[in-house]
């Protein structure tokens, strides 16, 4: 009998919502309960494309807005499959899921579409196109935090996009994306304690991990 596949679980949300902490806690909890799980994050700054993106985010280089959008998308695609002549490197998303590993992903195509479409002159529709056909998450949890609550958690960092005006525009674009009922969105109240947020995320995830076993992996926005 074929091995049950792992689930693709994504955490999205505005800055300061606690995505990275919660991804790590979820992976740990799944592993502790005997379910193989690994964390991934986008952008993956370790690849050649990821390094271009990282320099852009750190404001060490400037890139044209369409160009950087496509690089963010390329950075996801390069983590989906092996390049055909790229023998011996670590298994990528599709293979891991097939092997029964649940992937917990810190940001995905939704950040891609929300951040670029928050810039003047970009439609959500155009921004979604390069990511059409990526592995479709079985669950996308949106960590919801009001701008006022985010401000209480301290100053924004130094990277590009880390201003409250831009984050508000991004939040609005996420609201548009969440209207799409083809994606399994769950909104999580990130103003709760870290433990309570974790409980809520775990319970959605456990349900998804068992449901995904008998469902084929879908294609995003297709």
Give contact residues for ligand FDM (rule: CB under 6 A): 42-43, 57, 72, 107, 111-112, 115, 161
Taking the C-alpha atoms of residue 103 and residue 106, their distance in angstroms, rounded to an integer, is 10
Q: Which residue is nearest to ligand FDM (CB)?
A: 112
DSSP type of residue 7: P
* Residue among 101 and 128 whose Cβ is closer to ligand FDM: 128
* Residue among 6 and 130 whose Cβ is closer to ligand FDM: 130
The least CB distance from residue 158 to ligand FDM, in Å, is 11
**Reduced DSSP (H G I as helix, E B as strand, rest coil) percent helix, strand, coil of the chain, to 5:** 45, 15, 40
The least CB distance from residue 42 to ligand FDM, in Å, is 4
* Residue among 16 and 96 whose Cβ is closer to ligand FDM: 16
DSSP type of residue 163: S
The least CB distance from residue 137 to ligand FDM, in Å, is 13
* Residue among 42 and 174 whose Cβ is closer to ligand FDM: 42
Sign of dihedral through CA atoms 178, 124, 107, 139? positive
The least CB distance from residue 72 to ligand FDM, in Å, is 3
Q: Are strands 102-106 and 8-13 parallel, antiparallel or unpaired?
A: parallel
Taking the C-alpha atoms of residue 166 and residue 144, their distance in angstroms, rounded to an integer, is 16
């Amino acid at each position: 009998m074929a091995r049950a596949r792992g689930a693709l679980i994504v955490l999205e949300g505005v800055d300061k919502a606690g995505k990275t902490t919660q991804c790590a806690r979820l992976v740990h909890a799944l592993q502790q309960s005997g379910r193989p799980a690994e964390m991934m994050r986008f952008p993956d700054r370790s690849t050649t494309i990821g390094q271009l993106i990282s320099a852009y985010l750190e404001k060490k280089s400037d890139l044209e807005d369409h160009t950087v959008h496509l690089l963010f998308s390329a950075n996801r695609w390069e983590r989906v499959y092996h390049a055909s002549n790229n023998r011996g490197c670590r298994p990528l998303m599709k293979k891991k899921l097939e092997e029964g590993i649940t992937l917990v992903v810190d940001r995905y195509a939704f950040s891609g579409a929300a951040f670029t479409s928050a810039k003047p002159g970009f439609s959500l529709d155009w921004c979604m196109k390069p990511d059409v056909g990526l592995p479709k998450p079985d669950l996308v949890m949106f960590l919801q935090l009001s701008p006022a609550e985010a401000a209480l958690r301290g100053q924004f960092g130094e990277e590009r996009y880390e201003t409250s005006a831009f984050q508000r525009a991004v939040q609005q674009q996420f609201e548009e994306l969440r209207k799409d009922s083809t994606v399994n969105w769950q909104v999580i109240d990130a103003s709760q304690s870290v433990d309570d947020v974790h409980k809520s995320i775990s319970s959605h995830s456990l349900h998804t991990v068992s449901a995904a076993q008998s469902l084929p992996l879908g294609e995003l926005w297709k």
